[in-house]
């Protein structure tokens, strides 16, 4: 059985994906997670704290899933191209829910610096992943931008078409 904190995080993922950050209230999370209000506040002082924890958990999960997905790729080219296949895999697994980080970014006010910082850190880690892999800042940034836009466009159109097209562009860039 999952701990109250894990149930809160799991419920938060479902509700943020379905309703968004702003439309999801703490009382709904408490009710649907089946935890006591005191238990919620034992783990999280505020909705902002919950959001930060949710994003940190999501960051670890997403990178772990990507690493596992790419573990059989033998060389740099294969790893980069497989990263685009990973997006397709995640779209199938999560029904084109898009990027949790960008979804929340679109809802928070500009003065939510703590949440913004977690979102920026996630995107910086992804950008660094491509940079470390390719050892070419211009090329890695180009691929990072194609990767990010593929996430957004696939969510918007509920289609993997532009992921496939981006992957083909990348294949030509690093042939």
Q: What is the CATH number of the domain that holds 116?
A: 1.10.357
Within-domain flag for 49: no
**Same domain membership, residue 101 and residue 17:** no
Count of structural domains within the chain: 2
- Cα atoms in the 13 Å half-sphere on the side-chain side of 6: 3
**Same domain membership, residue 61 and residue 40:** no
- pLDDT in the model for residue 103: 96
Mean pLDDT over 94-120 rounds to 96
**Same domain membership, residue 60 and residue 39:** no
Cα(33)–Cα(40) distance, integer angstroms: 10
What CATH number is associated with residue 14?
Answer: 1.10.10.60
Mean pLDDT over 128-149 rounds to 98
**Same domain membership, residue 161 and residue 122:** yes
**Same domain membership, residue 61 and residue 32:** no
**Same domain membership, residue 80 and residue 135:** yes
**Same domain membership, residue 117 and residue 70:** yes
**Same domain membership, residue 168 and residue 139:** yes
Within-domain flag for 102: yes
Q: Residue 17 sits in which domain range?
A: 1-44
- pLDDT in the model for residue 157: 98
**Same domain membership, residue 102 and residue 40:** no
Mean pLDDT over 116-132 rounds to 98
- pLDDT in the model for residue 175: 76
Q: pTM for the complete prediction?
A: 0.94
Q: Is 73 in contact with 79 (CB distance < 8 Å)?
A: yes
Within-domain flag for 50: no
Structure token digits, residue 25: 């209230």
Q: Quick check: 76 pLDDT over 90?
A: yes
Mean pLDDT over 163-170 rounds to 98
Within-domain flag for 51: no
**Same domain membership, residue 115 and residue 64:** yes
């Amino acid at each position: 059985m999952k701990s109250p904190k894990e149930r809160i995080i799991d419920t938060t993922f479902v509700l943020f994906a379905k309703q968004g950050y702003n439309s999801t209230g703490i009382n709904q999370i408490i009710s649907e997670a089946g935890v006591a209000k005191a238990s919620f506040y034992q783990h999280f002082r505020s909705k902002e704290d919950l959001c930060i924890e949710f994003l940190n958990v999501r960051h670890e999960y997403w990178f772990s899933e990507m690493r596992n997905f790419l573990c059989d790729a033998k060389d740099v080219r294969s790893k980069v191209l497989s990263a685009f296949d990973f997006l397709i895999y995640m779209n199938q697994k999560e029904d084109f829910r898009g990027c949790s980080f960008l979804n929340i970014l679109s809802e928070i006010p500009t003065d939510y610096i703590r949440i913004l910082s977690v979102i920026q850190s996630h995107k910086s880690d992804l950008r660094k992943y491509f940079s470390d892999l390719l050892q070419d800042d211009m090329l890695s940034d180009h691929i990072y931008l194609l990767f990010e836009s593929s996430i957004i466009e696939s969510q918007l159109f509920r289609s993997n078409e532009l992921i496939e097209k981006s992957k083909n562009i990348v294949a030509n860039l690093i042939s």
